[in-house]
Amino acid sequence: MADGERSRKRDDIYKGPRTVSIEKTDTGFGFNVRGQVSEGGQLKSINGVLYAPLQHVSAILENGSAETAGVRPGDRILKVNGESVEGATHKQVVELIKAGGDSLTMTVISVPARDAQRLDPDDDFFYDYTDVKSINVAVPKFEHVEENGSKFVVYEVTLYGKFAAKRRYSEFLMLYEELMKIFTDFEYPKFPGKWPFGLSAVQLEKRRIMLENFIKETFKIRVIFECDLVQDFLNTDAMDPIHKDPDEPELHAYNADEDLGQDMPTKPKLKQVTEPSPKSHEKFNGIAEKKNYKQAANVLRIFLPNQTTSTLPLDEKVTAGDICEKMCKSLELEERLHPLYSLFIRREKNFYCRLSPDEYPNTYMTLASTNRKRSDFALRKWLFNPRQEQALLGGSNTISLLFGQAVDDIKEGRLTVSSRHASQLKMLASQEKHQDYVELATKSPSYGSVTFPHCSCDSRKRGHVIVNISSTAFKLFACTDDGEIESQVIEFEWPEMQNWEVKKDEDLEESDEKYISFCFQYQRGTKKPRWVKVYSKYADYMNDCFSRVMTEISWEEELRSGNDISEGNIFSADVIPPSTDNQEEEKEESEENP
C-alpha cells in the first residue's frame, strides 16, 4: 500500500466524531476515563471545531469490549448515552457511564498524539505507560545494500514473525527523536549512539541487539505502539491482519474502567496532609493522582507514602530527622513505628537515596531540579525484613502506606513485577484491596530491596556491576560499562559477611569515580577472607543499607535467643523463624522418636 493511501486511511480516524456501542463483559467496559475535576473551562480546537474541555480515554483493555468497538487511547468523549459531556467533570462522566448498566453508547473523537499533548499541556501523567500490549517485534538481522552507488546497512524488522520493514539506523534514530517529543516523560531504554566511522561486523551486531531491545521495550507500551509514528515505521497497514501469538500470556485480565457499573464497598479515604487544588484527575490503579507542582526555591515538597504531597517552609536549621518525625506524626503513625521511615532524596531518574537523620535537606536544594514533574524529597520505608514489615506495618491503619509506596515503586520501575502479576495488581488496586495488593507485590524478587545505579568494582576488570541489597543477600549483577545487564550474578549470603566500611582515596580528586568506595569482607567455608571494593558515589548509602540489614538480622537473633533486647529493637517476636540449628535438632529428635 502506498504511503499516501496509508495516510488517507489513517486520517479517516480523525475526520470527526463517531458513535461507538459497548457491551459490558466480565472485564467491564474495558477502558479508563480521565480528565478535569472542575466543571467548564477554556474552549479548545479539535479538527477546526471548538469544544469545552473533554474527558478522555487514557487506557483500554487488550481484546476488551472498548477495543473491539473501536475505541482508541486518547479518544475525547463528547456524549455518554446520548447526553453531552462537554465541560463535564470526571465524576459526572463516570456516573453517566455507570447509569447505563451493561450497555454503553458514546460519541468520541480521535486526536493524534501531538494534539492530545496540546489539549492537556499540564497533565503530567497523561499517558498510561503501565498499559502494556502483548507484542512480538524483533530485529533478527542486518544486511549491506547498495543503492544508486551508495552502500549502507539496513536492519530487518519483523512483527509477530512476519517481515514488516527494512530500516536504516538513521530511521531508527529519527523515530526515537520524534517519540521523545511526544512521550516526553517516558523513560526510554538505552538507544545506540552515533558513530562517525565504519562499524565492524561485531559492532553492527551489538547495534542490532540494542535496536531490538529498544523497540521491544518501547513498542510494548500500548499508547506508543498505537501512535502513527510507530505504525508507519512498522508499515502495519501493508501487512496482513495480525493476530495475537497464542503462546503469549494475557497481560490485561483486569477491569480497566474503575469497575464501572459495579458496586464497590466503601473504603476510608487516605488521610491528606496537604492537598493542592488539582486541575485533572484519574483513578489510576484505584488511586487519585494529583497534580504535582515545581519545587519552589523556598519550599520543601515531600512526597508521602499515602500518595499525597506535604509542603514545608525551607529552614536551614531543620534536619532530615526533624522532617521525618513531623511527617510521621501527620500520617498519624504510632510513635514506636517512626524509626521504620526515613527521608529520601531523588538523586537520578527513579533512584532515591536516604538522608541521615542529622543531615540538612536545604543543602540539597541546589541539586533538586526545578523542572521535575514531582517532588525530589520523599518519606519512604526504611525496613528490609519482609516478615517484620507485615507484622509492624500490615495493620488496617498502616497498610495504605505500604500500598501507596508499592504502587509508586512499580510505576517508576523500582519494583519489577511479571506481566501476569501486573494485571492482577491493577485489578486489586481498582478494587482498593490494599492488603491483597501488598501481599502479591511482596512476591516480586525485588520487593523490599535497593538496586543501585551501575558502577565499577575491583573484582571485575571489564564492565561494571549493579549492586542489589535485600534481606536475603547482597548481590552483584554483572553489566556493561553502559549498565546493560549480563548473565553473571554473584550472591553473598549475610552470614558470610565479616566487615564493611566506606573508604576515600585522598590522593584522588572527588570527581574521580574511584575517590570513594564501599568495601566489604566476606569468607566462604574454610577459604581466606577476601575484600571487595565497589566504587560508587552512593557508597555511603550502600553502607547504610548494609548496616541496616545486619542490624535487622541481629534484632531477630536477640528475640530468637531470648537475650537482652538492645535499644531501638522494635521487631515483633511473633514472626521470628526458628534458627537453623533448632530446625536440625528438631529433625534429629523426630528421626530418633518416630
What is the distance between the alpha carbons of residues 123 and 36, in angstroms, rounded to a whole number? 10
Instruction: Read off the C-alpha cell for 91.
Output: 465524576
In the prediction, which pLDDT does 278 show?
Answer: 37
CB 518 within 8 A of CB 546: yes
What is the distance between the alpha carbons of residues 543 and 474, in angstroms, rounded to a whole number? 12
Mean per-residue pLDDT for 460-483?
A: 93
- Greatest distance between any 2 Cα atoms in the chain: 88
Does residue 284 carry a pLDDT above 50?
Answer: no
Instruction: Identify the band that residue 392 occupies on the pLDDT scale cut at 50, 70 and 90.
Output: very high
Domains within the chain, CATH numbers bracketed: 17-109 (2.30.42.10), 137-234 (3.30.1520.10), 299-442 (3.10.20.90), 449-561 (2.30.29.30)
Does residue 401 carry a pLDDT above 70?
Answer: yes
Q: Which residue has the cell 501487512?
A: 239
Kindly report the CA angle at 179 between 282 and 143, in degrees rounded to 5? Answer: 140
In the prediction, which pLDDT does 269 show?
Answer: 34
Mean per-residue pLDDT for 336-348?
A: 94
Instruction: Read off the C-alpha cell for 291.
Output: 497534580
Closest CA to 24 of 226, 251, 223, 256: 256
What is the tens place of the pLDDT at every residue in 489-528? 999 999 999 999 999 988 888 778 888 999 999 999 899 9
Mean pLDDT of the chain: 80
Does residue 390 carry a pLDDT above 80?
Answer: yes
What is the tens place of the pLDDT at every residue in 293-306? 344 446 788 999 99
What is the distance between the alpha carbons of residues 464 and 461, in angstroms, rounded to a whole number? 8
| More confident of the two residues 133 and 310 | 310
Does residue 372 carry a pLDDT above 60?
Answer: no
CB 170 within 8 A of CB 158: no
Instruction: Identify the band that residue 256 occupies on the pLDDT scale cut at 50, 70 and 90.
Output: very low
Q: Tell me the residue type at 528.
A: K
Ranges of H-type helices in 447-578: 539-561
Using CA atoms, how far residue 401 sits from 331, 360, 389, 545, 565, in Å, is 9, 25, 11, 21, 28
Would the pTM of this model clear 0.85, i.e. be above it? no
The set of residues, in sequence order, having a beta carbon less than 8 Å from that of 139 and lying 6+ positions away, is 155, 156, 157, 158, 208, 211, 212, 215
Residue 392 gets the label, from left (phi > 0), alpha (psi -120 to 50) or beta, of alpha
Beta bridge partners of residue 31, listed in sequence order:
60
Using CA atoms, how far residue 288 sits from 251, 307, 372, in Å, is 23, 8, 20
Does residue 587 carry a pLDDT above 50?
Answer: no
b vs e for 528-558, b when ≥16 Cβ sit within 10 Å of the residue's Cβ?
eeeebbbbbbbbebbbbbbebbeebbebbeb
Does residue 483 carry a pLDDT above 60?
Answer: yes
Does residue 281 carry a pLDDT above 70?
Answer: no
Lowest mean pLDDT of 77-86, 171-180, 374-383, name the range: 374-383
Long-range contacts of 191-197 (CB under 8 A, 24+ apart): none
Lowest mean pLDDT of 158-162, 240-244, 354-358, name the range: 240-244
What is the distance between the alpha carbons of residues 108 and 83, in angstroms, rounded to a whole number? 12
Instruction: Identify the band that residue 422 occupies on the pLDDT scale cut at 50, 70 and 90.
Output: confident
Does residue 209 carry a pLDDT above 70?
Answer: yes
In the prediction, which pLDDT does 239 show?
Answer: 61
The full DSSP string for 19-88 is: EEEEE-BTTBT-EEEEEESSS----EEETTEEE----EEEEE-TTSHHHHHT--TTPEEEEETTEE-TT-
In the prediction, which pLDDT does 582 show?
Answer: 53
- Containing 537, the helix (H) or strand (E) segment is none
CB 520 within 8 A of CB 499: yes
